Structure 1
């Protein structure tokens, strides 16, 4: 039986859906995909979570940020530290997202959606896919460097992929607070992109304070010769492989399982 708390949130989601479709009737971008959406989830997994909210879209600007169209957002948990991120679920109308980001260049939103579709169609390729074949639609101004603990998550309502990953702008050692849990999926009707992002510090990477004492360099910087450059690249590759193994061992951690369960509990009607 649906709990009172869960039922309240069901009605909230439905009410917001009606608001989204009616509030734009007089102008602005049409959001036809919001009509009659009903979202449910297991509230016991994150009892401190707020309610599903409608977030107004932002016009794109010339700066390295992700400017989402109007969408639903569920804040599940505050950021665990100054270096962490909030645990949040976002539900984007896919047509509006692709209208906002029409480019087809490498790394574009449209290209990443295609990568996601390919992995959903052939989930067996998930574990062998290079990191640049894994979707991270909302991440800008940094690159996915290491990804591990990859898994397909699929229900009658959605299908997608999850992984633990580290993102960076340069080559340096990672602290445990640099690791994120990411789920990227599509609703079964193809109308929505569903993402879940969370900090995951429950891994065996060193703390930030330990790295500050030891230094962030993966290896001594190359001296300019081809041989030393090759030595540096081997060291970086070995470090990334070691990091991937550490993250792989975290794939069944309680917090990862809880986030997976949240994804699997989502239902769209």
Structure 2
């Protein structure tokens, strides 16, 4: 006689399978660093603007010296279970990424590109956008910066990121890497940005908006010129080495 599992056990088994962490491989040698891989449990949510990830894989690339050199793989089912609200915070990032990967267009400057982990700040810009495939998945890479204020970005703020999905839609891949680009000023008080800072403090909102838009256009153009720069394509090669099983 065939025994039937109770429905609750079947549902639990399906949920566990959906949130199971994949096997992850990559070639850290392409970056000339050693990697530390950890499997982390879910972080319970609190009523705070921080990101509270589900159980996931995290990879530290190089020494733990404060630099942003990190790869994270989140189960999509775990993300949605952790953030079930609609529209909520996570679901729009997933929807935005899926749309981008279907159209493979360069979004206008005024739009935000998908990004996880969630950041309690605004995405200032995106530049040097390119679409990359890796074995078993695909995604978008770009340069970006986040800030809670309207001010010129510095070389410490702008970083490389890759946001991708596995082909089966079960895993979200997020990779961040600091670049310290010499094309950008060391700090906001640099000579090149002093006039802009003065304008941004003006009570004339129209003047402020015009100056800010002009600044963003110039900065994005400067960063777009780095699309095929070796500093970025080296990171692209690392992304292409990522495999999920």
Match in the other structure for 2:102: 121
Match in the other structure for 2:214: 238
Name the Cα RMSD after superposition. Answer: 2.6
Shift of 1:153: 0.7
Deviates more, 1:214-223 or 1:63-72: 214-223
Moved over 4 A (4+): 212-216
Q: How has the CA–CA distance of structure 1 residues 133 and 109 changed in structure 2, closer, same or farther, with 3 Å as cutoff?
A: same
Query: In the aligned structure 2, how far is the partner of 1:139 from the partner of 1:252?
Result: 28
Deviates more, 1:33-42 or 1:201-210: 33-42
Q: How has the CA–CA distance of structure 1 residues 232 and 214 changed in structure 2, closer, same or farther, with 3 Å as cutoff?
A: closer
Match in the other structure for 1:61: 46
Shift of 1:137: 2.1
Q: How has the CA–CA distance of structure 1 residues 233 and 159 changed in structure 2, closer, same or farther, with 3 Å as cutoff?
A: same
Match in the other structure for 1:255: 231
**Corresponding position: 1:111 with 2:92:** yes
Shift of 1:264: 0.7
Shift of 1:203: 4.0
Query: In the aligned structure 1, how far is the partner of 2:200 from the partner of 2:169?
Result: 48
Shift of 1:41: 1.3
| 1:182–1:195 contact (8 Å) kept in structure 2 | yes
| 1:132–1:144 contact (8 Å) kept in structure 2 | no
| 2:200–2:212 contact (8 Å) kept in structure 1 | no
Q: How has the CA–CA distance of structure 1 residues 186 and 205 changed in structure 2, closer, same or farther, with 3 Å as cutoff?
A: same
Query: In the aligned structure 2, how far is the partner of 1:36 from the partner of 1:147?
Result: 30
Q: How has the CA–CA distance of structure 1 residues 184 and 254 changed in structure 2, closer, same or farther, with 3 Å as cutoff?
A: same
2:82 to 91, 100, 104: 100
2:33 to 40, 48, 51: 48
SS in 1 for 2:156: helix
Query: In the aligned structure 2, how far is the partner of 1:140 from the partner of 1:194?
Result: 16
* Long gaps (5+) in structure 1: 1-26
Question: Within 5 A, what are the aligned runs for 1:1-269?
Answer: 31-33=16-18, 35=20, 37-78=22-63, 85-105=67-87, 108-123=89-104, 125=105, 127-208=106-187, 211=190, 215=194, 217=197, 219-223=199-203, 228-269=204-245
Match in the other structure for 1:12: none
TM-score w.r.t. length of structure 2: 0.85
Structure with the larger helix share: 1
| 2:72–2:175 contact (8 Å) kept in structure 1 | yes
Query: In the aligned structure 2, how far is the partner of 1:36 from the partner of 1:184?
Result: 18
Query: In the aligned structure 2, how far is the partner of 1:219 from the partner of 1:79?
Result: 39
TM-score w.r.t. length of structure 1: 0.78
Shift of 1:138: 1.0
SS in 1 for 2:161: strand
Shift of 1:222: 2.7
